[in-house]
Chains A and B, each alone.
Chain A
Amino acid sequence: MSKMPIRLTVNGVPHEVAVEPRRSLADTLRDECGLTGTHLGCEHGVCGACTVLLEGEPVRACLLFGVQADGRAVRTVEGLAAADGTLDPLQRAFWENHGLQCGFCTPGFLMLATWMLEQPEPVDEARLRHVLSSNLCRCTGYQNILKSVRAAAQALGKWTEVAPVR
């Protein structure tokens, strides 16, 4: 099958690659851009392990084609830590609170939570659980993932004990 040239920016770095139109964004990131931190758990949009941010919005990279990212900006887990490897506050919260076990779902949860913490609205318990129920984890029972994101939200001044008025 013929390939289409696309340009996308991943974590601020421009990439020019050629992909088959049927190749998913996840495979494009993994195989063409060499960024294997985005994991594939189900390839049918349920588990969320492949969650990345496309133009700032969380998406399932398995449900988009690579060509749909042409001319657009993608953020993946590889873009969270500093260039020297220093973890960002969310990653650090996951580390300190044992928010991961096997680590396979972790990139998806990190991107989903990164998006949530960048939104203007504060995060309360209900929103935390609601948003994070988008993704599946098989190891942690979610408790320490919730705890990690809660801790990061508190550290970033995004946490509220009271539900915001919508």
Chain B
Amino acid sequence: MNWTGRRLPRTEDPALLRGEGAFTADLAAGARAVRFLRSPFAAGRILSIAAPDLPPGALLVTGADLEGVGAIRPELFRFNYRAIAQPVLPRERVHFVGQPIAAVVAATPEEAEDIAEAVLLDIEPEEAVVTIEDALRPGAPTLHAEAPGNVVVDGTIRHPDCEAAFARADRIVEFSLRSGRQNATPLEARAGLAAHDRATGRIRLTASCQMPHMLRTGIAALLGMAEADLQVVAPDVGGGFGQKMALFPEYPLLVWLARRHRGSFCWIEDRNENLIASAHSRDQIHHLRAAFAADGTLLGLEADILANTGAFSCYPTTCGVEPLMALAEYPGPYRLPTYSARARALATHTCPAAPYRGVSRPVVTFGLERLMDRAAAALGLDPVALRRRNLVTEFPHVTPTGLTLDQASYVEALDRAVEAADIPAFRARQEAARREGRYLGLGLAVFNERTGYGTPAFAARGMGIVPGYEVVDIAMTPAGEVEVRIGASPHGQGLRTALAQLAADRLGLDPSRIRVIHGDTDRTPYGWGSFASRGAVIAGGATQLAADKLAARLRRAAARLLQAEPDSVTLRDGAAWAGEASIPLTEIARRVHQRSEQLSDLGGFNLAETASYDPGGTFSNACHVAEVEVDAETGHVRILRFLVVEDAGRLLNPLIADGQVHGGVAQGIANALLEEVLYAPDGNPLTGSLADYLPPSAAEIPHIEIIHMETESPETLTGAKGLGEGGAIGAPAAIANAISDALSPFGVDIAELPATPARIRALIRNAR
């Protein structure tokens, strides 16, 4: 029975459907409520924090109480990184609106809010640095003395022959683009519950997080406590998309409270806090300059990448994650002979940046795919032909930044997409519509997505903390079920189901007999989490390795019990077979555990194994096609069709894979058209509710057509490539290209996202 590759409904779902899931807030009964006081100023000096008369049992905690608590200070040993520190609660200065500056504890959330409102904060406001332009302005205030000029990361790649490529170019295409700031907006905001266990003195932190093991390591170090005395649990987690990777100051404060006051303390973030004070991303400006030959061959590329990474540097990835990913991955799926680039992270008095689905690649793809369309227009070539001419076709291919592209289907995916989109028919519709004064457009985005990368990729960034491997412990119970304990920690991706499918095939067992256990540092081996499109590749690879090792043990025991050679034993249908003879795996499990004297000559035999997997990484790829209609009078964009040709290698569960693509595309559409975190010039956030920050509803997201290709990666054990982020990467570029195509009669070029009605109207007005 082949379980892998089947559209198996998820084992995660029944409890969630009955409303019996256990999210952090669902577990908070009996805990005291924590409310954070947050800075109302973007920049300022704290003069005093005066507590009102506190009712009995209530507490006010400020930075002055946290003697001996360390600051969050992730390290990067390359790219001129300046290590900047984020205090758990600041004593001297505030650095962004929303920064936690004190915590109130009371019996109920309502009471804690009442007390928090009565606290007198005396803060002397100072000049705020809000935008990229502000940060770079000569004489601008400096956020951190360690980072002069507000430059926290400054990485460069220089190829000596780049200038020569531009000298011999027939055409140079040059432009700037801007990506608005986004918030990942998981539907469950952050939440933490720290509970002191009097019997053991240990603390259990239940938190809506993506990296429980890392959180434990980070908090223990900040508080100077034994890591073994802290258990971190990620229960059901209501989405993360990268935002919940970071070590936020709220969590160590909860653990500090639980230790100091020997009780349970719960903080449930509200939506306003999440929108202004969790983590933002994608606030970038890129300047691109590309050299082309007359036939459309790309000769060279220069990129200047600026990322507004906010007030602090997120732990563990650092604020280098956005600019340095753009620096390393700008060449994308294209053959690029020479490349020079500079990438900077700039500190501003805004909410800190953290990874968000795709990290910099939605912006990079927006840049590269606008470049392809602009170059085609400048050279009078067909944009599909221009892409085809430059896409990498021979693998492995080493990019100018030293990345090795494994087997992929860049041209094939483009061709499939072009065929399915039926461009000639679209052009006819477009012509007819234009005669009626309606503006239709079609846009393509071809991209690759580096996925499933282990420690080498993170180490190359010079990270002080190098994530990447995953460990899986596997064991068979005496009753014959299999427990798979994974260090990774999913939050909606269905790993419990997909990994059980993988293990089921290796063990000849029904997946219903397999339990995947995750999200608990007491019950799982040290590992990293679910991010960077890595679950199917890395946790999957480690699961496969561990299951193979357990299968070998089962075969060995079966051989002994059936008096056969281990090599002749196969596992299928829940039994071990040697020729006609067989023994159920449940019977092997029982004998190994309870009648081990029958296997005494195997010597201390058991049914437990562990495996670790740390791959170099792979690249999935896709081509997105968007067909839009733009209302030239209102600037409103309607998506008429959205098509994805996706190649993520072998699909472990196509049902789940499709869901990942749908969700990613929806977030990409939001990035292209709707969502933008806005700040006033003084650093006050203007998008503090879901009435101002606009995640799309079912009314804005069209039907998404998916065509899968399955180029199996030789670089991964499972043959799978990651696909969690791809949807979000391609959609913004495809839509920007489609809008630009629709508005080509006006000469409009979309160079800023989201392309809101106001921006589109301004472009049309200025063009006229």
Contacts and interface: CB of A to CB of B under 8 A. Distances in A.
Contact of A49 (B13, B187, B667): B187
A146 B659 contact: no
Interface string B1-30: 000000001101110111111010110010
A139 B268 CA distance: 21
A135 B238 contact: no
Given A76-B19, A102-B239, A94 B13 contact: yes
Contacts of B10: 95, 98
A140 B18 contact: no
B110 A1 contact: yes
B236 interface: yes
B188 interface: yes
Contact of A95 (B17, B26, B238, B493): B17
Given A78-B19, A139-B492, A143-B703, A47 B662 contact: no
A117 interface: no
B122 interface: no
Contact of B659 (A1, A31, A37, A140): A140
A107 interface: yes
Given A104-B187, A133-B697, A141-B704, A98 B655 contact: yes
Contact of A46 (B110, B665, B690, B699): B690
Among A35, A87, A140, which residue has the most Cβ atoms of chain B within 10 A? A140
Contacts of A9: none
Interface string A56-83: 0000000000000000000011101100
A102 B237 contact: yes
B28 to A, nearest CB: 9
Contacts of B241: 138
Interface string A91-103: 1001110101111
Contacts of A132: 698
Contact of B271 (A42, A95, A96, A145): A42
B569 to A, nearest CB: 36
Among A96, A104, A133, A135, which residue has the most Cβ atoms of chain B within 10 A? A104
Contacts of B65: none
Nearest to A34: B29
Contacts of A78: 18-20
Contacts of A101: 239, 492-494, 659, 663
A136 B239 contact: no
Given A36-B19, A102-B236, A142 B701 contact: yes
A141 to B, nearest CB: 3
A42 B695 CA distance: 12
A28 interface: no
B666 interface: yes
Given A31-B29, A141-B663, A143-B662, A106 B16 contact: yes
A52 B192 CA distance: 26
A107 to B, nearest CB: 5
A139 B670 CA distance: 13
Interface residues of A, number: 58
B691 interface: yes
Interface in A115-130: 129-130
B647 interface: no
Contacts of A140: 659, 662-663, 666
A105 interface: yes
Contact of A98 (B18, B189, B656): B656
Secondary structure at chain B's binding surface: helix, strand, loop or mixed? loop
Contacts of A143: 662, 701, 703-704
Contacts of B26: 30, 36
B574 interface: no
A8 B185 CA distance: 33
B491 interface: yes
A22 B491 CA distance: 33
B11 to A, nearest CB: 10
A135 B699 contact: no
A137 B17 CA distance: 14
A98 B493 CA distance: 11
B160 to A, nearest CB: 45
A105 B705 CA distance: 24
B697 A96 contact: no
Interface string B166-195: 000000000000000000011111000000
B270 interface: yes
Contacts of B270: 43
Contacts of B663: 101, 138-141
B58 to A, nearest CB: 14
Interface string B676-713: 00000000000001110001011111011000000000
Contacts of B701: 141-143
Nearest to A35: B19
B13 A46 contact: no
Contacts of B493: 101
A81 B17 contact: yes
Given A104-B188, A106-B17, A129 B237 contact: no
B283 interface: no
B666 A142 contact: yes
Contacts of B703: 143
A78 B268 CA distance: 22
B663 to A, nearest CB: 5
Contact of B691 (A38, A44, A81, A91): A44
Given A96-B9, A102-B238, A130 B704 contact: no
Contact of B690 (A36, A47, A102): A47
A85 interface: yes
4 smallest CB-CB distances across A and B, nearest first, come from A37-B19, A104-B238, A103-B16, A102-B492
7 contacts: A39-B188, A77-B17, A85-B18, A87-B17, A103-B16, A104-B187, A138-B667
Given A80-B18, A141-B665, 11 more contacts: A44-B689, A77-B17, A85-B14, A87-B17, A95-B9, A102-B492, A104-B186, A104-B187, A136-B187, A139-B187, A139-B492
